[in-house]
């Protein structure tokens, strides 16, 4: 599988009806590093406090058409987590 085919598969998974597949799609396109999200294709990064701005991909990045707001994609994805039972997290 080529790098372009792998990226296309991640984009397709991002539109899956299955939460786990959508997470795999997101994680194949983006990487979290501290308070930055990094594009796996062009390695450009965006800090969390810049989430309202379009992602600064390099000009010829193949990911540009399929992801300009990764922080909000992640927020939407995580908002779909199943509810935690009425127990403590720790």
pLDDT tens, position by position, 16-42: 899 999 999 999 999 999 999 999 999
In the predicted model, residues of the chain with pLDDT beneath 50 are none
Instruction: Please indicate, yes or no, whether the overall pTM of this predicted structure exceeds 0.75.
Output: yes
In angstroms, rounded to a whole number, what is the distance separating the alpha carbons of residues 11 and 22? 9
- Give the model's pLDDT for residue 52: 97
Pair of tokens at residue 33: 């590093």
Q: How big is the chain by its Cα radius of gyration, in Å?
A: 14
Q: What is the pLDDT of residue 83?
A: 84
| Separation CA 67–CA 7 (nearest Å) | 12
pLDDT at 4: 75
How far does Cα 38 stand from its chain's mean position?
9
């Amino acid at each position: 599988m080529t790098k372009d085919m792998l990226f296309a598969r991640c984009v397709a998974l991002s539109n899956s009806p299955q939460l786990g597949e959508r997470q795999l799609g997101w994680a194949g396109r983006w990487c979290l590093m501290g308070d930055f999200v990094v594009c796996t294709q062009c390695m450009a990064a965006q800090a969390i406090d810049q989430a309202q701005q379009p992602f600064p991909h390099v000009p010829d990045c193949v990911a540009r058409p399929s992801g300009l707001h990764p922080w909000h994609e992640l927020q939407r994805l995580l908002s779909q987590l199943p509810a935690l039972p009425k127990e403590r997290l720790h």
